[in-house]
Amino acid sequence: MMTTGHIGYALLLSLMAGCATGIGSAIAFFAKKTNAKFLSFALGLSAGVMIYISFMELLFNARTQLDMITGSATRGGLITAAAFFGGILIAGIIDKLIPDAENPHELHSVEELGGARSDSHIHGLKRMGVVTAIAIAIHNFPEGIATFISALDSAKVGIAVAVAVAIHNIPEGIAVSVPIYFSTGSRKKAFWYSFLSGVAEPVGAIFAYLLLMPFLTPILMECTFAVVAGIMVYISLDELLPAAHQYGYSHLAIYGLIAGMAVMATSLILLS
């Protein structure tokens, strides 16, 4: 039975994860240079957390429960697999809504803020920042659903997913704020565009609460966990790891990936 407090907790985690885009914007304004090593490791860590949780917690539990509910390991396995790959398909379709030319994960560095603004580029830069904000908002919507549903499954899993998503949102906040500030000269505008792009996360959580939860039978609930696992695996492989590699420290990204998995494995064992 989901209590009001449990649901409120899940919504709060989604809000906190989304607000991390504002942290990225603040880093862009106050840091003297981009800490590429830290971001490579952190993004790899985030991917490791998401991948481990997806396979070892969400997907495993969904399969176990569906086997029991359906009374058949075969049916339970088929439903779990269909839901998992359905989640990957959903994430892929959302990704396709964003043209390649407006890639929201095209990274920017703090150093770009120091350059002189050219009038001929101001309009294009502002458009790039606005489109990037919209693109990231679209990407953040399913992440909000994932954080919310994960928190409903388990408080410890919800916290881990929220932290992983928050880490992921920091460079996205930089990606929005840099071109906006570069084109307008306004830190305030750059911060709010960046911050608002992250609001899509709690919006996704509210969507899950209002439109999905009323229809969640025990079978659909477990299917939703499997779908969320698929979404998070897609995000990890298509967004987090490629972004980590773009910073130029591929080995640190892999070390972060392994560390993220190790941390989650230890946490789940100790908190079980």
The verdict on pTM exceeding 0.85 is no
Distance separating alpha carbons of residues 102 and 24, to the nearest angstrom: 19
Read off the tokens for 239.
């967004």
Our count of domains for the chain comes to: 1
Q: What is the pLDDT along the chain (272 residues), one digit of tens a residue?
A: 455 667 888 888 898 888 888 887 777 677 666 667 887 888 888 899 889 999 998 899 999 999 999 999 999 999 999 999 999 999 888 878 765 545 445 555 554 544 444 555 555 666 666 776 777 777 788 888 888 888 887 788 888 888 888 887 887 787 777 777 777 778 888 888 888 888 888 888 898 888 877 777 889 888 988 998 998 899 889 888 887 887 778 899 999 999 989 988 888 787 66
Structural domain including 188 reads: 4-109+117-270
Contact criterion met (CB below 8 Å) for 19 and 162:
no
- CB proximity list for 190: less than 8 A, separation 6 or greater: 25, 28, 29, 129, 176, 177, 178, 180, 181, 184
Look up residue 151 and give its amino acid.
A
